[in-house]
A and B are shown apart, each in its own frame.
Chain A
C-alpha cells in the first residue's frame, strides 16, 4: 500500500471514528457514589470493565449520562443499537470505539501530536444456563506518520492476535474466556481464558503509574489464566493463576531455530489476587497481591531490565469512598519489586542483582457537580531504587498530576479532556512524556 493511500485510509478512519463514534464500556470505580460497590451487576467481568450487562446499559442511561428529562425511564435507548434490535437475554453484544487526540508539550521541545484509535472492538457474551462464552475482537490500524509532528496509530498492540502490526494494522483481542457461574446466587464465577489481571483499583486510565508499573491495566496487560471470583454483599475478590500473555512470544536469536523454550521465554507464570471489604455501600477498602516469574524479562516494557529471568512482585492497599454523592475519593498505594539474577560486571567483576524496589501511589478525587459531568483531579507518585547491572544504582522519582473533565453528553456517547503534567520517569511505566500532555477523547458504543 502506498504511503499516500495509507495516509488516506488512516485519515478516513479518523474522521469516521469522530462521526460514528460509540462509547466503550469503561471501568468506573466511582460508581460507588450510587451505592454500587461491586462491578458485576453492570459488567460481565465480575471485577469490572468490559461488556455491559442489560442492567449496566440501563444504569448508564439512568445515573451516568446527563439527563435532559427529569427522572425519565430510559426505555430501550441504552440497549444494543439504541434498542433497534431486541437481543435474547442470554446474549450481550457491544461495539466499542474510542479515539484519543493527544498534544505532547515536552519540556524544552516542540509540540508533538498523536491521534490514537485506542479501541475499535466488538464484544459478545453468550450465557447458557451457568455457562458463559465471552470475548472481544477488534482492529488496530497501522501507524501513519502524517508529518514530523503528527502521528496516527492504533492502540492495543500488546493484545494482538496477529503479532506486531503490519501495514494493514492488527487484529486485537483483549479478552476471551469461558466461564461457569457457581453458587445459589451465582456469586462465584470460574473462568479460563485471557482476562484482566485482578489487582488494584480497576479504572480506565491505563497510564496511571499504579497500573502501568504493576502491568495490571485493562488496555493490554491481560494475561491468560484461570480465575475464581466472589461477589458478596460485604466482600468481593478474585484470584488468578497466571499462565502467561500469549499475545506475545519470544524470538530466537538471528540464525537460530525457534524452540518452545525461546517462544515461551517471556510468558509470566504466577498468581494475583484482589480483595475488597465493603462495610457500607459507600466505602470499599481492599488489598491486592501479584507474584510472577518469567524466563525472559519484557525489556520492551521496561528497558532498565536485563534480558534475563525476572521475578515480579507487587502488593497494594486501596480504597474507595463516597463521603457525599457528588464526591468520590480513590486511593491506592503499591510496593513493588522486580528481581533479576546476579550478574557479574567485568573487568571489575563486581556482582550486581538487577533489582528495582519501588513504591507507587495514586489519589484521585472525582467530583460530579451535575449528573453526567465529572471533574477529576489526580495525583500520582512513583519512587524507585534501581540497581542496574552496568549502571550505578540510582533513585528515581516521578510525579504526575492530572486535571480532567468528563461529559457523558448523550446516550452511548461521552467526551473527555485531560491535562497531564509528568516529571521524572518510572521504569516500566507507560511512556509518558516529561512535560505536559493535553488529551481529548471521544467515545461511544452500540
Chain B
C-alpha cells in the first residue's frame, strides 16, 4: 500500500512537472513594457507600451513587443522615435527568443528567479542578450517580470539627438506580463 502511494505520488509529481514543461504559455491581462533612456545632466525619457505577445513554440519561448504604440508622452518625440530611429515601418517588432529550458519555473505556487540568455531582435539586427527574470506562480497564472540593458548602437539604431540634446545609447528595459498554462 505504501509503495502504491509512493508510486502514485511520484506519478503525480512527474505529471505536474510534465504539464509545467509542456503546457503552452498564453499571455493574459495587460502587460507593461518600458524602456528608460537618459540624456545629459539628468535628463530622463521613459517609453511605454502595453503591447506584448507570448509565442510558446515548445522548446523556445518568443516574447514579441509590437512597437507601433510605444510612447514617451510627447507626440513629436514618439513620431521621431518610431519612424526616424526605430523605423517601425520596416521593423515593427522587438523580439526576445529564449530557450524554455533556461527558465526555472516555480513548481506549485511560489516564485523563482534567475539570469538567463536569449537572442534579441530589434531594427533588423539580432544580438545575444542576458536578462534577469522572476516568475511568480499563483494557481494557473504565471506573473513574469524581466529586465535587461541594451545598447541601441548594437541594433543599428542611430543615437537620437534633437536641438542639441543627445540621448545616451544605453537603455534599461523592463517587462511585466501574466501568462496562463
Which residues in A have some Cβ–Cβ distance to B below 8 Å? 34-38, 40-41, 46, 53-55, 57-58, 62-63, 70-73, 89, 185-187, 231-233, 236, 278, 281, 325
Contacts and interface: CB of A to CB of B under 8 A. Distances in A.
Nearest to B72: A35
Given A73-B76, A89-B164, A35 B39 contact: no
Interface in B24-42: 38-42
B101 interface: no
A281 B42 contact: no
B55 interface: no
B45 A187 contact: no
Given A55-B163, A63-B74, A40 B42 contact: yes
A11 to B, nearest CB: 40
B41 A34 contact: no
A53 B44 contact: no
Contacts of A232: 41-42
A71 B76 contact: yes
B73 interface: yes
B43 A41 contact: yes
Name, among A62, A236, A278, the residue most crowded by chain B CB atoms within 10 Å (CB to CB).
A62
Nearest to B43: A41
* Contact residues of B: prevailing secondary structure: mixed
Nearest to A89: B164
Contacts, number: 65
Contact of B41 (A35, A62, A72, A187): A187
A416 B77 CA distance: 28
Given A35-B46, A55-B162, A89-B164, A185 B74 contact: no
8 smallest CB-CB distances across A and B, nearest first, come from: A231-B42, A231-B41, A58-B163, A55-B163, A71-B75, A187-B41, A55-B165, A54-B164
Contact of A185 (B40, B45, B73, B163): B40
A127 to B, nearest CB: 11
Contacts of B41: 38, 40-41, 46, 185-187, 231-232
B79 interface: yes
B176 to A, nearest CB: 16
Given A62-B74, A62-B76, A37 B164 contact: no
Nearest to A57: B163
A36 B45 CA distance: 9
B162 A38 contact: no
B38 A233 contact: yes
Given A62-B76, A89-B164, 5 more contacts: A38-B42, A41-B41, A54-B164, A232-B42, A281-B44
Contacts of A187: 40-42
Nearest to B46: A281
Contacts of B45: 35
A41 B46 contact: no
Contacts of A186: 40-41
Contacts of A62: 74, 76-77
A236 B42 contact: yes
A185 B44 CA distance: 13
27 contacts: A34-B73, A35-B74, A36-B43, A38-B42, A38-B43, A41-B39, A41-B40, A53-B163, A54-B163, A54-B164, A55-B163, A62-B74, A62-B76, A70-B75, A71-B76, A72-B76, A73-B76, A89-B164, A187-B42, A231-B41, A231-B42, A232-B41, A232-B42, A233-B44, A236-B42, A278-B44, A281-B46
Contacts of B76: 62, 71-73
A38 B39 CA distance: 12
A133 to B, nearest CB: 18
Interface in B114-145: none
A72 B76 CA distance: 7
B79 to A, nearest CB: 6
Interface string B53-91: 000000000000000000011111101000000000000
Contacts of A71: 75-76, 79
A321 to B, nearest CB: 15
Nearest to A232: B42
Contacts of B163: 53-55, 57-58
Nearest to A73: B76
B73 A35 contact: yes
